[in-house]
Amino acid sequence: MQSVVIEYYAWIVAIISVYFLVFALTNAFWLWIYSKKPRVFSGDKVSVCVPARNEEENIENCLRSLMDQSYDNYEVLVLNDNSEDRTGEILDLLAKEFPDKLKVFDGKPLEEGWTGKIFAMNQLIQKTSGEYLLFTDADTFHKKDSISFAITNMKVHNADMLSGYIKEKAVTFGERITVPLIFMLTGFVLPMFLNRVTPFPFTSVAIGQYIMIKKKVFEAVGGYESMKTLISEDVFLARLIKKNGYKTIFTDCKRAAICRMYTGYTESVNGITKNIFSFLSNNTAVILTAIIGVSLFLLLPFPLFVVSLAINVMAGGWITTITVLLGINVLLMFVVWVLVSGSQHLPFSTPFLYPILFTNLLYMATLSFVRTVTGKGYMWKGRVVH
């Protein structure tokens, strides 16, 4: 009886790995053909919005890259969000150097009922004059055609909102076993074509590092007022746009910008963990189901395969059906990560580390749930977020 149950389980994980492989292939192909090269260099005004809190290490490189764009009609607005380092001083110097393009504002103290980034962005948007809004982070570096890329894809696809993964750098070992996890959803879990062919909001995703949206659409859906307490505001904005009947697109934005999201393991874990439970709408049933699913179907097959193979070898070398099925899962999950790594230009080591990646995912999902329900929250940019 026990052997039968294990064999059924092995069949399930083998089938799941085939599912992941199919969508890793189709999603990589989809992003490749769906993302158009920059070819629109003038037209409607774009307002680039950059919130900056304690960004003295990054803000100058970010803004200098935005001052040198091929698109000819844009403004850059930066909000110094009560920074405690040299961010304000650097912004003042850059504002004097680029008076025609760069506008710098001092943020108000954080009001109760708002999360920090959303409150900063809400202030910035009120200062914009463009027909299009481009939201980006202070730790991004934009290539010369960044704005043109976004405008081109918005117009080619007649979209109301655009987002996508920019090039993500993972330098340390801690980053390499953490940062690649952000590509799971669009890499091989969620079929990307569903966003285009279905009206369901859950098929829309976004990455806060790089979002372009029509200003009139943003205002029509209520802007950030409707999500001021959320942490994963980027994803919920995409879902809100879709829910209201507008068109969202998710593209390959590596040619637009580059970013090192986090420096080291601790910062990587904190940065991703704070978003997991929020991404699942703080639904306890959903996150517990996800934790069980990750444990059983992503993490467990690899050690079971190793144990099963060892038992087969010690028993005389006859490879059982269970071992073969578990081996199929291990092989295909490796191939899946090869595809994701190739598509997103991740480190060469990523596919070899995938069991560690899934272990880390389980740890972060559990931590996200515990820290949220206990009210401990996370320290981020000098503030506690829940």
pLDDT (tens digit per residue) in 42-56: 999 999 999 999 999
Give the pLDDT confidence of 88-142 residue by residue, as tens digits: 999 999 999 999 999 999 999 998 888 889 999 999 999 999 999 999 999 999 9
Give me the pLDDT at residue 347, please.
92
Reply yes or no on whether the pLDDT at 274 is more than 80.
Answer: yes
- Across the range 357-376, mean pLDDT stands at 91
Give the pLDDT confidence of 17-28 residue by residue, as tens digits: 999 999 999 999
Contact 50, 62 (CB under 8 A): yes
CA–CA distance, 344 with 103 (Å, rounded to integer):
33
The pLDDT confidence band at residue 379, using thresholds 50, 70 and 90, is: low
Choice among 36-45, 108-117, 162-171 with the minimum mean pLDDT: 108-117
Give the pLDDT confidence of 329-340 residue by residue, as tens digits: 999 999 999 999
Give the pLDDT confidence of 286-317 residue by residue, as tens digits: 999 999 999 999 999 999 999 999 999 998 87
Reply yes or no on whether the pLDDT at 16 is more than 80.
Answer: yes
Contact 38, 152 (CB under 8 A): yes
Reply yes or no on whether the pLDDT at 324 is more than 60.
Answer: yes
41: helix, strand or coil: coil
2: helix, strand or coil: helix
CA–CA distance, 322 with 6 (Å, rounded to integer):
7
Give me the pLDDT at residue 384, please.
65
Give me the pLDDT at residue 282, please.
82
The pLDDT confidence band at residue 385, using thresholds 50, 70 and 90, is: low
Q: Which residues pair with 162 in a beta bridge?
A: 212, 249
The pLDDT confidence band at residue 185, using thresholds 50, 70 and 90, is: confident
CA–CA distance, 23 with 30 (Å, rounded to integer):
10
Residues 6+ apart with CB under 8 A from 297: 12, 13, 16
CA–CA distance, 119 with 234 (Å, rounded to integer):
14
Give me the pLDDT at residue 383, please.
64
Residues in the chain: 386
The percent of residues above 70 in pLDDT, for the chain, comes to: 97
Higher per-residue confidence, 375 vs 15:
15
Mean pLDDT for the chain? 92
CA–CA distance, 290 with 362 (Å, rounded to integer):
9
For residue 89, what is the DSSP state? H
Reply yes or no on whether the pLDDT at 1 is more than 60.
Answer: no
Contact 102, 76 (CB under 8 A): yes
